[in-house]
Homo-oligomer: A and B are copies of this chain.
Amino acid sequence: MKRIGLADTTFARVDMARYARRALQAAGTGFRLVTRTVPGIKDLPAACRALFDSEGADLCLALGMPGRAAYDQTCAHEASLGLQWAQQVTGKPIVECFVFEGEADTPAALEALARRRAEEHALNAYRLLFRPHELSRRAGEGLRQGFPDVGPVRRVI
């Protein structure tokens, strides 16, 4: 029985973990979810450490929603680097799923984008743990999360 960690924030304006949880549960079995909610994205790397160290997670999904201000981009960059270090310190993977508020023009579009991206990253997390061959088979195919796949270059020609 593997354990998947879900780390999310109270700062985000969409409950992305709810969508991720459903997508994971629909994807298959063989895992148990462990979760931790923190205030903001900069707290996600430490949350993942807690999920790895105290909850025995084999992989974490880090869900966050940086705001529209320029400073939010700096925070997201720092959080991303923290997630990279956490992965190197633990040797375990963290799938980062960030949705920037500025990526969508309307609240409805933001909710929809956050939902799709959370679901698709959750599915990727599932594949990383249980079905790596599904990823290998689609290497170089221009897949996207939250937006339509762009496809491989060859098909465009």
Q: Which residues of A contact B (CB under 8 A)?
A: 8-18, 35-39, 42-43, 45-47, 49-50, 53, 65, 71, 73-75, 77-82, 84-89, 91-96, 100, 107-108, 110-111, 114, 121, 124, 128, 132, 135-136, 138-145, 150-154, 156-157
Contacts and interface: CB of A to CB of B under 8 A. Distances in A.
Contact of A152 (B13, B84, B150): B13
A135 B37 contact: yes
A153 B13 contact: yes
A143 B27 CA distance: 31
B96 A42 contact: yes
Contacts of A14: 140, 152-154
A150 B13 contact: yes
A15 B140 contact: yes
A10 B81 contact: no
Contact of A8 (B10, B140, B143, B151): B140
Given A82-B84, A94-B46, A11 B142 contact: yes
